[in-house]
Structures are given as structure tokens and as C-alpha cells.
Structure 1
Amino acid sequence: MATTRERSNSMEQREKASEKSFDVDVLDVKEEVVQGLEITDENQARIIFQQAEAITDEEAEEIMQEVLDEHRHDPAYPSHVIDIAQRFLENESVRNDPVEYMRVLKEAKMECALITQDSPYAEVRAVVSPHDDPSIACSTVRAWTIGLFLAISGGLINQLFSLRMPAISVDEIVAQLISYPMGVAWAKSVTTRKFKTFGYEWTLNPGPFTRKEHMLITVMANVSFNVGYSGYIIVVQRVPHFFNQQWAKDFGYQITLSLSFQLMGYGLAGLSRRFLVYPAAAIWPRNLASIALNNSFHTDENKPANGWKVSQSRFFLYGFIGMFCYFWFPNYIAEFLSYFSWITWISPNNVSLAAITGSVTGLGLNPWPTFDWNVIVAMNQVLIAPFFATANNGLGMIITVPIVAAIWYTNTWYTGHIPINTNRPYDNMGNRYNVSKIVNSNGMFNQEAYEAYSPLYLSASNAFLYGVFFAVYPATLIYAYLHHRHEIVRGFKSLLKRRSPKAAYRDVHNRLMSVYKEVPEWWYASLLLVALGLGLIAILKYPTHTTVGAMFFGVALAGVFVVPIGIIYAVTNNQVTLNVLAEFVGGLAFPGNALAMNSTSFVLHLYVETFFKSYGYVTTARTIMFAHDLKLGHYTKIPPRVMFASQTIATLLSTTAAMAILNWQVNGIKGICTPQAEAKFTCPGTTTFFTASVIWGTLGPIKMYGPKGPYNVLLWGFLIGAALPLIFHFFTKRYRSLKNIHIPVLLGGALQWAPYNISHVWPGMIVAYIFQSYIRKRYLPWWQKYNYVLSTALDCGVAICAIVSFFALQWKGVTIDWWGNNQPYEGCDGTGCPLFPVPESGHWGPGPGEFH
């Protein structure tokens, strides 16, 4: 033990060392120091060094302590910063060595300067500017006109393709691509004459098209692209081989239901800003790609990166044109490139070979199963999400392959009579489950009809999927407490004390946004009230068989889960959905009412607070999406009140347009939501939704998961999910290599089964490693300049090509009939062969009258 005199002498030596910690030599920026900070611009590094001089020792200790408290076990936080903080605060040998202490103090203060003057995350620094000019035009007639036009168009297109397998999503990246030439053309051709209206001066053309206008347009388009789960509800209600409830075609029902979801989510997003928008740790990786594309359009400078002198805009153009031309092959000309199940082609009718290696209905174990970018990014945006997140997600699916295979080969729950990997429900005769046989004219469960027909059976992957869902919910709550409780507590303190974001957070972007008027909480609370009113109209005016208590418990469910789920999504780009949890508890309260399961989330029944699917899940999902867009506006310095107005108005218009195209889809596409549907409109998401409605609403979880239910053992998932974060947190303290294991994201990988498989995640893991690990570490300037631009270019190429090919050829029935397009859908991989045939009795398991 050191004596008092020794500690005093050591302290004096450290203080003297500290006085010299930033002499003139420090400003001599060396390459290795710049790389250590993950800064590619030496001028920027020099500025950081200068800013570090002004940081006192006490400030450095306070900031580094916050880093350890909040991010010690955070795999997303830069590991070298954690190392510096631990050496600076917790290593006694460093604190007792004046020379070493001086060196570590320099490093700590430079990292503190980054944390307070920029972002500690290299990916954020790569694209988000730590400066702002409030005079840049933003809320202009030009921006509003283009933004609302794209919001309506995007709502139409995304609703159309949401029923396709695999789905093609038109997002904010495409909106940026299309809006830029529109904005530039407007700036060149429209009059600059100024007008006065009620004393307010305005103009149709404020001058050059600005980056803030561009991002405002992007936000308006993005918040309106997905109509939400209400589209699934209405399709399931209207399509004949689902529930065939034609009253759901009433446009008043459709619009009030959809808007209630949208506006409720937006209201909660605004109230959760202190948790999901203001903290620097809320990165929202997907936003970075959007901002990178914006930079490529509006940046004049073109600094070389690892010898590459191609500008970002030209690089984007090359990538976009290349993917647009190439995607014609896997999407239309040669579909075997999309599902490259070459192993199954050796013996197409081999059941086991197709089940294990097939990409269509199998598990997808294939060294390289696809040459289709749309398949590679189907589960993860691999050039955007952090590598640890992509790796965890893929690993979660890979390590569960033996479990799914074992369930199938042992014929557990009669899964051997069903294709191994499908999300369709089956009866005991091997046919798709016909729910109309077990409900009456009101859509309510008919016990006698059920016993005369068949129990419901799930495939091996689909049955296992629900066990993983049971695990992921407690895992999410416990993981959020273990790793993010400090941010959550700080957010609540800020909310209760009415502290400003600048006072509560050190992030430079909060300081820059403090010059704009903030949106008060009561504005968002008002949106919640409007959403409740619209939801009550949809529930009470139409025959949904649902009670009014649903609305209030829907808000309660979102209040519990939105922050932990939002934080995980903001860090990893992986979202945990609440659909199964809402289904499970809602089904316990109201078994026998699939319609109520679809149309509401919570019912107060026999004094038990329960919740149903849609409001419980959709409210949270929409809250996360709107929070994502609020962060985009935060990064790009769009005034908060402009954001509020633009998101609300765009949502109203686009939701109306989406409902119109949905009605056209249901009436106009032949065989929609069946395997024979035109242009791949097989409705994978809607089918999963329908399956869940039958399981949880019509039959109820008691029949499936109760004490005598066939799938009862899967309820152990709740306990396993609660234990896993605790176990890994314990071992992470001893083995730092385990820090990169993110339990909710790992479990999330196993949630991708049925109908997706390994072929949708394994190629993405390889691509993610190349770009997000190898290139980032060795060619950081190239990665910062081109990585996000490349991601947006490829995604845009896929989306635009899909739209063109669909409307030009596929919709007109123009197809190419040859081996390359037919082979993926032939044999056991294409049709989905079961392991065992239907017994001679005509059914497996208990027959009519033998089950209750």
C-alpha cells in the first residue's frame, strides 16, 4: 500500500506532468495519432488537439467516467476509448507513473474533445457535420411541393410492393435520388419573383437547391412510405381465402384505422426524444447512408481517399447504373441467380438435400446461395449496420439450424409431414389450414366445427420461431437495463426537470439545435389524443367485436417497450417487434376472436389487463420509425417545428393514397396472396400475419401453448430469454471478447425463419465483414468517403429496376420461360416436400372427434 507521502508526491508529479501535457509537440499531428482517433483529415485532427487543450483534468475525469458508466460493455462504442478511460481512471500503475500518466491524459483529453466537439463514433463523424448555418433555406414552397408529391408516390409504390416476395422497399434513399434533379430543375426554371401574403414575403424559388430542403423532402417522403400494419389487417380481412370480410372495404374504416396507428406512433416518438434522439449513442445507422448521399449531392470538395479521386456523386452514379443494369438478371431474366440452390439441382427430388440446402423452402445451407443484392440485404442493411450487429444476427440463425432440423427429423409436433421451412399453417391432411371451416358468420370460433375439422400445425421452423419470440422479450428488457440504464435514467431526469437537451447531453448536435424553437411535449400529446379518437371510431363504428379499453392499454404497452427496443434499434439497426407478445397475452383474454386480435391491442376483461396485437405492436413500431426520422432531422439541423408540420401533413396524405392502392391490389391482382400469384405477390408478411391471427385469435394460445397444448414446452423461452443476458453479462466482466455478443440481436437472427433462411443472412455476413471490418480498419478514408454512398447506390439500383421491370413487363404478363427462371421453383426445394407422407388414414395425429 502506498503511504500518504507517496500518494501526495505522485499527485504532485501528475499535476506537473499535466501542465506540460499539451505543449507545442502535441500539435505536430502524426499519421498514427490521426488513425488512432479514427480521423482521416489532419486539419480536423489538429483542431481536436487544440480543443483538447481547453479541457481541464477534472472535466476529463468526469467525461471518461460517464463513458465507463454508460458504455463499458457496449459493443457499439469505440473499444479504444473504453481502453483509454480504464487506463486513465482505473489503472493504478498509470496514475502512479507521471510520464505514463501524461501520455494517457493526452489521449483522454483528445477523446473528450471528440465527445464534446464532434461524435465519438467514427461512422457519425464520417458523414454528419459538427457545424450548422441556420440561414440555409429549408421550409420552402419548393421543398413542400416536391416532398408531398414524393410522399404520396412513395406511399403508393411501397404499399404495392409490400405484398411481394421478397419485398422491394422504396425508402428515403430513392426519395433523395429522385428529388435532387427535381429541386435543381426547379431552381433553374421557376421564377424568383417575391410575393407578399398577409404581410409575409415568400417566393417560389429561393435560389439554389439546398441540402436542408433536400433532407426535408426526404423526411416527408420517408415517414409516409409505410402505411403500417393496418395494410396487413385489411388485406387479411378482405382476401377471400383469408377471412373474406367484405365490410372491411369501407374506406372510412381503412383510413381511421391507419391514421390512428400512424399518429399514435408519432406522438410517442416526440415524447421519447430524450431517450432516442438527443443522446449521441442513438446513432441510427440507417440515417448515415441517407446523409452520405445528401453530402454527395451538395459537397463541392473532392479529397482523394486511399488514392481514389472519384467524387461521391460520380461514385454513386456508377454504382446505381451498374446495379440497375445487373438486377434485371436475378429479378427477371435469370432468377436462378437469386435462388442459386445449385446443390439441390444435383438431385432435385431428394427431400433431405432440399430441406437442408434449399433456398426456397429449405434451410439454405449453401456456401454461396445467391447473386442477388436484394437477397443479400433482405435481413440486414449490411453496409450500414455495425458489423457486430450483422454478425450477431446471422449467427443467431446459423446456430439454430440443428434445432430446426432436429425438430423436423424427429417429427416433433408432426412437423415431418410439413415442409421444413414455411410460414403457412397446415391441417392434419397436409393442406393449408382453412380457417373458414372453424368460424361462424361473425368470424367467431366454432368449437364443433373445429373438432370436426383439424388442429392447426406449424412447420418446424415456424414452431421454433415462436419459442424464440418468447425469449427475446425478457432478454430485451434485461439487456436494456444492464447496458443502457444510465441513458434511460438521465432521459427521465431531463424530462421531469424540464431540462434542455444542451444541459442534459454533451453531444455537439444538441448544442447546434438549441438555436431553434423546440416542439413542446403537449403538441405530441395532442396527436396522441387525436389518434385515440380515430382508433375508437374504427373500433366502435364497425363490426370489429372489440372494446374501447384497447386504446389505453396500447399506449401502456408502447410506454414499457418503446425505449428499450428503440435504444437497441438505434445502436444496432435491428428491431425487436412486439407482435407475438401482444398476440400471446391478447389471445389468453379473448380466444376465439381473430378479428379482435387484428383490430385492437388490449381489452380489459374480468379485471385482467390484456393486450392484443396491432395497437400494441404497431404503436411501438411506428414510434421507432418516427424517432428514426426525428434523428435524421436532428443530424441535418432541420428546425423541430418544421419537422413536426412536415411529418404530420405528409402522413395524412400518403396514408390516404396507400389505402387507395391497397383496394386496387386486392381487386386487381390475380391470385393475390397465393403461391400462384402474379409477379411474386405471394404476401409473405401477410401470410405470417394470417397464421398468427388463427393461432392467437381464433384458436387462442391455450389450445396451442396451454398445459395440454402441443407447443407448451416453448414457454420455457421466457425463462431462457431472461437468463441469457444475465449469464453473458457475468462472463463479459471476465472475458472482454464476449462484449460483442448482443443477446437481443442474436435472438433476433433466429426470428428470421419462415419463410427466410440462411441464404438471406450468410452472404450478408461476408459482405459486412469485408466492408465494415476489413476495409474500415485498413482503408478508413475510402470507407468514410464511399461506403454509405455505395450502399445507397445499390439499393436505389434495385428499387428503380424493380419498379421499371414490374410496370413495363411483369404486370403485362410478359415472362421468359426457360430453365434459368423455372429451376429454382421446381423439385423439392421449389414445392416444399415433407419428410413423411400423409398416413393411409388420410390424416396424421388425432382425427375428427379425437381432439378437443
Structure 2
Amino acid sequence: MGEKYEIDPEKDIHNLEKAFAGESVSLEESEVENSRIEAVRLVVPVTDDVTLVALTFRFWILSLFFSVIGSVIQQYYLFRVSNGSFSIYFVNLATYAMGTALARWLPTANWAIGGYSFSLNPGPFNIKEHALVGISVSTATTSAYAIEILSSMDLFLNHQINAFGSIVLIITTQCLGYGMAGVLRKYLVYPAEMVWWGNLVQVVFYNAMHNTDEFKSKRMFRGWSYMKYFWVVCGAMFIYEFIPQYIAPLLVFFDWVCWFRPFDYNFWALFSSYGGGGAGILSLCFDWTAIGGATMWLPLVTLLTQCGGIILSYWIIFPIIWLNNVFNAKLYGRPLTSGLYTLDGKPFKITSLLNEDYSINEEKYLAGQPATMTPMYALVFMYSFIALTGCMSHIACFHGADIWKTWKQSRNSADEDIHVKMMKAYPEVPQLWYAAFYVVMVGLSCMVCEVYGLQLPWWGLLVALALSWVLTLPIGAMVAITGIGPGLNVITELVCGFMLPGKPIANMAFKCYGYMAMYQCHTLLADLKLGLYMKIAPRSMFAAQIWGAFIGSIFNYLAMHVIINARRGYLDGTKEDPSGIWTGVNPQIFWGSALIYGALGPVKVFGPSLSKKFTNIAVFAGGMSGYPGGQPIGVLPCIILCIVWQFWVFRYKKDLWSKYTFILSAALDTGAAFTGLFLFVFLQGGISPKLNFSFPSWFLNHYDEDGNAPYKSVDRCGAFGNKWESGMLPTPPK
């Protein structure tokens, strides 16, 4: 086993050569160079052991096992009313235990195949091997965006693509971004300023679990080790989360202001949140999953800006619109509804206006009432457009010079980040690999679009990819620097709606290719940065991510096929699931969006044929982000937490912040994720409908089977809105 080293390559070339040769360099020989970014300096070690191998037999076994499980579980969640996620922290903990066990049990003898010799057990389960398993599994354990195309066509059009075409569609949408990442890595990975903040939690997590040299001397509260502290906090959060997630769900959206006037229609609209469908002004939330560990480490200005945009939009502008009934805002039911309506406030039904090829029938549409949307929904679209253009302007004005400098210095190592210098010990992935992979994926994408009836011509696909290329760099820079950034889903829908009107399937395909190429590119870039922090060989990273994408794509499709065949009636809306679990809400939303932008088209929704009032109001109300996940919950707790932890603790107790932030964030997120997984599997019908147990009705839940839940029976700004929307109460006052 090689020795660790700490290096200052710029000051001492001799030490650099020794370090890359795997020889030890003492602190006396060289002062330690470190990152220019303070948060990175605090948590990312400037050490490496070049003898550690990541791409081992154990890697292939563990990554395959957890990729299959995770991709199936994520696909399972897509069709259910209760969304969940396959926690990467669970994967990290489980793979550590299993990897350590395999290191004890597997034979250590070398095996020879042809001229290649390898060992099933090259030594202890090491930190690089562990991190590479996590990276590969995180690539696989997603519900591929293309699944929503396939499920929408199957459920609502009774149109299926064969297995080969389906899998190629999924793989191409998941892998196109990888070729782009190869070109952009020198701009979005190598510069120290491109932090990719979420990786810092993972770095602390892996180093704490493997008790590396940098973490052995660190002691936490009461002298605990990093891992003991992690497990205590994780266990405490696991127990606590049973309260908001199961025992007292009212604490997830504690709309306390509503209690002052529980039957007031305007109070319902302004102060209810998830339970009532309102703006959630001053609503509290005691569920950690709605707050998240990122609140503790994302840049303070990022968090406050994001929360400030939500407050301006939903705490200031929305009350003005609602209380004054601007543009008949009260006519459409829930304030934040995303549906389309006729001018008299009735839901707009588009399916009866489609031709046999699923394009819009112009004569039928013009013969009826035009479609419109609520003022807040129109504003959300405008916020998305403004966020996108604002991102590009911000990057050009404030980071353009740095990006240009990076481009000019790409062949000069004088100003390189220390971690980039250390990675020169490993062979880089040739640019040709990425280019060839991208060309193959583009060719397969064109084949799928032309052969399998996606309504998207090859030139339309190229437009989608061109749009992605143009926007990936500025958005990627914003995400890497600030931790957040806009998506391309809305702009891609809009562009295709103008370019190929009346074609909903084409709109879904265009959106998927344009959006996912950028999204997957950013995912790969973030993982490449994690690999750089962990000093994993670039070629091992390339193989691991491609492996994860292929495994995930195949098992996403297989799981989708099994679930749709088993639950078709529930998912397409022709039957009602007695348990209320299987609703297919995500494919329904995806298909509804395709109808709005594809079949109906943006010209009819935003164009001059309609009243222009919704578009005009959106023009002067830009700059705010849309409500997260459709409901503005957790805003106030996030503001309180980030001010206390990110401002006061960071400024006045920096040692405390540097020691506890990332391990505390990881422990809290892990405990909360375990609770959700446990509840879903054992108490909410995850394995079987027979294992579905509701907590008895009491004051802090809204389960009303016995009719004795105070929250439900006195409404509390929730039931009134639900009952009114379903027609159980008369039209509210204007």
C-alpha cells in the first residue's frame, strides 16, 4: 500500500515528481498548497494514495446489485401518489458493509483470462472503490425522463414502441449529455470556483466512514469520532421523522395563521399551503425532508435570493392578485392550480378536440371556448423564462471573464487548482472517447425519432440538441457556483410548440432530448468533480458512469412494463384504486403538458387569439422562482435556519461550522430518508397493500375515517378548498 502525500507542486517540482511516483513527501519538505475556495479547503483533503484501485470486481458486483434495485424502486415511485427516492446515503452505508464483507470472504488469488490477470480481492475495500460504487449507482437510480414519454403514449394513446426502440430511446436520452461533458469539463470541473456544492457532503461522508488520516484526529461532541456522531444524529433524526411523516403530518404544513379564521375563503387562499393549495404565507414546517441539509451549506446569498423570490411572488404579488380578484383569479378553484380552463372557469377538456393522429382539430377548437390559465400559472411560465435569460446574463457579466481566462489557460498549468494538479497522476480520458460516444448517441437518437413514430424529424432533434449546447455552459456554471439553476423543460416545450404545432408526441420527445442532454451533462460534470475531490482515475469514472446509465435504462424500462401491465386501469384513470396509492399522477402531468404545448400549442395559449391579460401581467412580475414542487412549504424555516447557521455560526463560530456542517447535514438527511423508506415499505403498502396502516386519528393529523379529527372537522383552511373545488360547496364570493 502506497503512502499518503501532501504536495505543493508549484513550489517544488521535485516533490511533485515524488508524489506522482507514489513516494512520501513530508510537511517539512513542502508547505501544503490548498484550494482557493474556503469551503473546499475545510473539507477536501489534499492527499492521495495513487496505489488504490477503484474499478475492481467488487465494484462491478455491488454497483450492479444496487443499480438494479435502485432503478426499479425509482420507477416504482413514479406511478404512485406518494413520491420517494432511493437514498444514496443508504447505498453508501450498505455498500460499505457489503464491500468490507467481500474483502474478507473473496479469494485473493489472481485469475487469468487470455493475457489479462486480475484478482477478485485486491485488498481492503477502499475509499475510492466505495465512492465509485456510489457514483455509478446514483447514475442508475433515476426514473429516466424518457419513461414518461413511453408511459404517456401507452396509457393515454394505447401506442407502444417495441422493447428495442424503447430501450434505445431511454439510453440515448440518458447518455447524450456525457459527450457534452467531455468538452465542457475544462470549464465546469477543473476551475476551483466550480465547486458543485453537493459533493462536499459526500467527501465528508466517505472520509468519515473510512476514517482516513485527516479524520482520525478530529473529535466531535463529547469526544466522539465522526462516525459515532453520524450514527447518533442519524438515529435521532430517524426516530424524530416518524412524527411529521406518520404520527402528526399536520407538522409538515403547519398553517397556523389559518386557525384564526378557519372558514374564511381568503385566508384559505393566502395562508394554507400543501394541505389547502394556497400560497402558504408564514406557514411553518417541521419536516426535515422539506427543509433539507443543503440549507446548511449552499451559499447564503443563493438561499436568501431564492427564498426572496418566492416571498415576493407568493407573499406579496399573489395576495394583490387574489384579494382584488384580478383577471377573475378566484374563478378557477385552487390559487396555484396548473390546469387549463375555459373563460367561464370550467376545466378545459382537450382530448375531444384531437384527431386520430393526436394533432389538434382546428375547426373543433375554434367552435368552442378558447383555453386560458390562472394568473399565477401564467406568471410561473414567465418566471421560468426570466430565470433562464437572467442566468445567462449573470454568468456573462460576472463570470464571463473567468470562463474566458480558463479557456486561455487550458494549456497552461500555472494557475491550476491543487486538486487538478494532483489528478495528473492518472491518465486522462481522451477527448475522442467523448466525441465518438456522442456521435453514436446522436445517430441512435435520429434513428429512434424517424423509425418509431415520435413525430420528431431528425432536424427537430438537432435543434433540441443545439439548444442544449448553447445553454449548458451558462446554466452549468451557475449550478456549479451557486448550487441552483434553471431547467430547460419549459423553454424546450415552448420552442417545439412553435416549431411543430399540433404534435404532442414530438413535443414530449423534443423536451426530453433538449432538457435531458443538459441535465445529464450537469450530472456527469458534478460526478467528475466528486471524482476529482476523491482522486478517482478519470477512465474509471468514465466506465462507471456509462455502466450505471445502461443498467438503469434497461431496468427502468422493465419495471415500467411490469407496473403498467399490472395497474393499467388505475394509471390511465379508467378505474379507481381503492387504496389511493396508484394514481399515475406524473405521467398525467407530463401528458397534460404535451397537450398544452404540443397539441394545443403556445400560439393558442399565449398568442393574440386569446386575451392578452395573462401574458401582460407576467411581463412586469419577473424575477421570482416558481413554487417548489407546486406548493410553497418550508420557506420560513429555511430562512431561519440559513440565517442562523450560514450567517451567525459561519461568521462567529467558524471552527464549529467547519467541523459540523457537512457531517451533520449528511446525518440529518440520511435519517430522514431512512424514515421515509421504512414507512413506505412497511407501513404504507410499499411491499403489499396489506402492509398499509394509518395512524389513529387525532389532533395533529387529517385522517378522517372516523370523523373525529379536529383538523379536518373544523376545516383549518384545507377541507373548505378541497370541497369547493370538487363541487360540494357553492361558488365562493368574488
The answer to whether the 8 Å contact 1:163/1:673 transfers is no
CA distance in 2, matches of 1:186, 1:837: 57
Aligned partner of residue 750 in structure 1, secondary structure: coil
Distance in 1, matches of 2:514 and 2:550, equals: 21
1:150 pairs, out of 66, 79, 84, with 66
C-alpha distance 491-520 of structure 1, shift in aligned 2 (>3 A): farther
Cα deviation for residue 234 of structure 1 reads 2.8
Q: Distance in 1 between matches of 2:249 and 2:425?
A: 53
Compare 189-198 and 647-656 and name the one that shifted more: 189-198
- For residue 20 of structure 1, what is the aligned residue in structure 2? none
Q: How does 1:321-336 map to 2 (within 5 A)?
A: 321-336=235-250
Whether the aligned pair in 1 keeps the contact of 2:263 and 2:720 (CA below 8 Å) is no
Change (3 A) 1:410 1:542: farther
Aligned to 1:205: 121
Deviates more, 1:775-784 or 1:133-142: 775-784
Shift of 1:644: 0.8
How far did residue 464 of structure 1 move? Answer: 1.1
Partner of 2:523: 625
Q: 1:816 is matched with which residue: 695, 698, 701?
A: 695
Residue ranges of structure 2 left out of the alignment (5+ in a row) = 14-29, 704-708
How far off its partner does 1:350 sit? 2.2
- 1:752 — aligned with what? 627
Match of 1:390 in 2: 303
Contact 2:391 2:474 in 1 (8 A): yes
C-alpha contact (below 8 Å) 2:176/2:438 kept by paired residues: yes
CA contact 1:357–1:366 (8 Å) conserved in 2: yes
Pair 1:542–1:790, CA change in 2 (3 A): same
The 1:395/1:340 distance shift into structure 2, 3 A limit, reads: same
Partner of 1:849: none
| 2:354 counterpart of 1:439 | yes
1:646 paired to 2:561 = no
Match of 2:139 in 1: 223
State the alpha-carbon separation in 1 of the partners of residues 68 and 220 from structure 2. Answer: 42
Query: What's 2:556 paired with?
Result: 658
Per-residue deviation at 1:382?
A: 1.1
Identify if the C-alpha distance between structure 1 residues 513 and 681 changes in structure 2 by more than 3 Å, giving closer, same or farther. farther
Distance across 1 between alignment mates of 2:583 and 2:311? 26
The aligned amino acid for 1:714 is: T
Judged with a 3 Å threshold, the aligned counterparts in structure 2 of structure 1 residues 663 and 358 are, in CA distance, closer, same or farther, namely farther
1:539 aligned to 2:449? yes
Q: Which amino acid aligns with 2:489?
A: N
Alignment partners' CA distance in 2, 1:671 and 1:430: 28
Matched, 1:356 2:270: yes
Specify the alignment match of 1:425 in structure 2: 340
**Partner Cα separation in structure 2 for residue 514 and residue 176 of structure 1:** 27
- How many residues are aligned here? 690
Match of 1:767 in 2: 641
After superposition, give the CA deviation of every residue in 1:718-777 in whole Å (9 maximum; x if it has no partner). Answer: 7987xxxxxxxxxxxxxxxxxxxxxxxxx4x522357121x2322122222222222222
Report the secondary structure of 1:196's partner residue.
strand
Unaligned runs of 5+ in 1: 1-43, 56-112, 601-612, 722-746, 843-852
| Among 718, 722, 725, the residue aligned to 1:829 | 718
For 2:193, give the aligned amino acid. A
Q: Pick the aligned partner of 1:461 from 376, 384, 390.
A: 376
| Residues 782-791 or 681-690, more deviating | 681-690
State the alpha-carbon separation in 2 of the partners of residues 343 and 385 from structure 1.
Answer: 30
Distance 1:718 1:821, change over 3 A: closer
Residue by residue over 1:467-500, the C-alpha shift from the partner in whole angstroms, topping out at 9 and shown as x without a partner, is 11221222111111101112322344456xxx26
Find 2:595's aligned residue among 679, 687, 694.
694
The one-letter code matched in structure 1 to 2:231 is: L
In structure 2, C-alpha distance between the alignment counterparts of 1:615 and 1:512, rounded to whole Å: 36
Residue range with higher mean Cα deviation, 432-441 or 695-704: 432-441
Q: Say if 2:431 is the partner of 1:521.
A: yes
C-alpha distance 752-720 of structure 1, shift in aligned 2 (>3 A) = closer
- When residues 250 and 624 of structure 1 are mapped into structure 2, their CA distance, relative to the original with a 3 A threshold, is same
CA deviations on 1:606-658 (whole Å, 9 max, x unpaired) are xxxxxxx2222221111111111111111111111111111111110111111
Instruction: State which drifts further: 674-683 or 122-131.
Output: 674-683
Question: For the structure 1 residues 221 and 830, does the alpha-carbon distance in structure 2 shift closer, same or farther, using more than 3 Å as the test?
Answer: farther
Aligned to 2:21: none
Structure-2 separation of matches of 1:715 and 1:298? 57
Equivalence for 1:589? 499
The 5 Å alignment of 1:85-124 reads: 117-124=33-40
Aligned to 2:23: none
Which of 511, 533, 538 is the matching residue for 2:421? 511
Aligned-pair CA distance for 1:807? 2.2
| Contact 1:356–1:364 (Cα < 8 Å) also in 2 | yes
Structure 1 residue 562 displacement after superposition: 0.5
Equivalent residue runs for 1:706-717 within 5 Å: 706-711=607-612, 714=615
Contact 2:724 2:730 in 1 (8 A): no
Q: Please, what TM-score do these two structures have when normalized by structure 2?
A: 0.86
Q: Does the 8 A contact of 2:283 with 2:634 survive in 1? A: no
> Between Structure 1 and Structure 2, whose CA radius of gyration is higher?
1
Q: Distance in 1 between matches of 2:430 and 2:641?
A: 43
Does the Cα contact within 8 Å between 1:408 and 1:460 map onto a contact in 2?
no
Q: Give the match for residue 599 of structure 1.
A: 509
CA spacing shift, 1:341–1:665, aligned 2, 3 Å: farther
Cα distance in 2 for partners of 1:680, 1:461 equals 29
C-alpha contact 2:169 2:448 (8 A) present in aligned 1? yes
Q: Could you say if the C-alpha distance between residues 234 and 756 of structure 1 is closer, same or farther in structure 2, counting changes exceeding 3 Å? A: farther
Of the structure 1 ranges 518-527 and 808-817, higher mean CA displacement relative to structure 2 is found in: 808-817
Letter in structure 1 aligned against 2:702: N
Residues 520-570 of structure 1: per-residue CA shift (max 9 Å, x gap): 111111121222122223212222222111232222112211010000000
Shift in Å at residue 432 of structure 1?
Answer: 4.3
Spell out the pairing of 1:123-142 with structure 2 (5 A cutoff). Answer: 123-142=39-58
Per-residue CA deviations over 1:666-725 (Å, capped at 9, x if unaligned) read: 44457448898756666665555344322211211111222343356637867987xxxx
Paired with 2:613 and 2:660, the residues of 1 have a C-alpha distance of 50
For residues 244-393 of structure 1, the aligned pairs below 5 Å read: 244-248=156-160, 250-299=162-211, 301-303=215-217, 308-360=222-274, 361-377=276-292, 381-393=294-306
SS in 2 for 1:272: helix
Task: Give the AA of the match of 1:780.
Answer: K
Given that residues 583 and 696 in structure 1 are in contact (C-alpha distance below 8 angstroms), is that contact kept between their aligned partners in structure 2?
A: yes
After superposition, the Cα gap between the structure-2 partners of 1:802 and 1:306, relative to the gap in structure 1 and judged at 3 Å, is closer
- Secondary structure at 2:54's aligned position in 1? coil
What is the aligned partner in structure 1 of residue 319 from structure 2? Answer: 405
Q: Does residue 1:186 correspond to 2:102, yes or no?
A: yes
2:662 alignment partner AA? Y
Contact 2:144 2:556 in 1 (8 A): no
Q: Which residue of 2 aligns with 1:615?
A: 513
- Equivalent pair of 1:276/1:282 in contact (CA under 8 Å): yes
Distance in 1 (CA, whole Å) between partners of 2:629 and 2:542 is 38
Deviations 1:267-323 (A, max 9, x none): 111221011111100000001111111011012544456865222111111122122
Q: Give the C-alpha shift of residue 466 in structure 1.
A: 0.8
Q: Structure 2 CA distance, aligned partners of 1:507 and 1:269? A: 19
Change (3 A) 1:679 1:808: farther
Inter-CA distance 229–832: structure 2 relative to 1 (3 Å threshold) = farther
Question: Identity, % of aligned pairs?
Answer: 27
What is aligned with 2:706? none
CA distance in 1, matches of 2:104, 2:674: 26
Q: Distance in 1 between matches of 2:652 and 2:70?
A: 38
Q: Distance in 2 between matches of 1:280 and 1:238?
A: 46
Assess, with a 3 A threshold, how the Cα gap between structure 1 residues 834 and 271 changes in structure 2: closer, same or farther. farther
Cα pair 1:143 1:217 within 8 Å, conserved: yes
